[in-house]
Amino acid sequence: MGCYEGPGPDINVLYQWWGTTTFSSTVGLGGIFSALNLGPWNGNPLYQLSDFVLFYPQFGQAQQGVLAANVNNGGTGFNVNDTVNLLQEDASGCTLVITNVASGVVTAFNITQPGTGYDVETGLATSVISSSAGTGLIVDVTAITPSNLNYIPPPVLQAYIAFASSCLSSQRWGASWTIAMALFVAHYATLYLQAIGNPNGTASALAAAGLAGGIIVSQSAGDVSQSTIAPPGLEDAGAWALTSFGQQLYTMAKVVGMGMIYAW
């Protein structure tokens, strides 16, 4: 994948301008994807629910214990009552005790400690705490403790995090990617709370705090009326102008988008 040789059907005109019929480039596709904001190759870094609520704790607490999990691969050499830790980046403390085996292969376990910082994910490895010869147990986390998020169900925030990661390239955003991710999720979380919150409840108060206020352009004393407009520069921001989080993200995106790209 080191170089590409043409001509190709879409760039023959360029070759004519350059006075040649062949072209060779040493720019790999990885570099092109990076410049065009299509990377990174292996996806964005892991961004978990705990990362978001650490940034905006008003949406919940940072603890995310494992509520439910299944056997993905039972490994070998295990016995009943063996104990293992569940391994996931930025998470720790989830302990599993083996409750059933078949010829050393784990078929069932109990969660004895939910741990903190976990996310719903498949194919997580384990490390053995106590076992005669057990190895290779792989686990799927299917649910995390919902009590740690006060107003928004964890699957909702997980969906918004996945959406944000599919829209925001860490390659393009660089060091500001984690800020952009938090703003993106907070924007949609605010709109979610506005849509479902009880008018007299804390959830709606949280949503109201994140909604954009706009600029007052007219007021009336009789019957109390008020008109507002979006802040200058956000006229074309669409739904991003509806929350303070979206306004910040939209402004940052315009700055990030000003950078040069490699057109090939």
Residue 33 has a pLDDT of 54
Among 249, 231, 146, smallest CA distance to 190 is for 249
| pLDDT higher than 80, residue 19 | no
Q: Are strands 83-86 and 4-5 parallel, antiparallel or unpaired?
A: unpaired
Percent of the chain with pLDDT over 70: 62
Please give the Cα distance from 184 to 202 (Å, whole number). 22
| pLDDT higher than 90, residue 72 | yes
| pLDDT higher than 90, residue 43 | no
| pLDDT higher than 50, residue 216 | no
Residue 201 has a pLDDT of 56
- Higher local confidence (pLDDT), 124 or 9: 124
Q: Which residue carries 């939209």 as its tokens? A: 250
pLDDT in tens, 28-42: 555 555 555 555 556
Please give the Cα distance from 33 to 183 (Å, whole number). 24
| pLDDT higher than 50, residue 264 | no
- Higher local confidence (pLDDT), 97 or 211: 97
State yes or no: cis peptide before 45, omega within 30 of 0: no
pLDDT in tens, 52-63: 888 888 887 656
- Higher local confidence (pLDDT), 233 or 95: 95
**Domain 66-148 architecture:** Beta Barrel (2.40)
The pTM for the full model equals 0.54
Q: Are 229 and 171 in contact (CB under 8 A)?
A: no
Residue 89 has a pLDDT of 84
Ordered by start, the domain boundaries in the chain are 4-35, 49-59+150-256, 66-148
pLDDT tier at 202, thresholds 50, 70, 90? low
Segment 86-96 shows an average pLDDT of 90
Residue 22 has a pLDDT of 60
Please give the Cα distance from 202 to 70 (Å, whole number). 35
Mean pLDDT, the chain, whole residue set: 75
Residue 211 has a pLDDT of 64
| Least confident interval from 102-111, 130-139, 156-165, 229-238 | 229-238
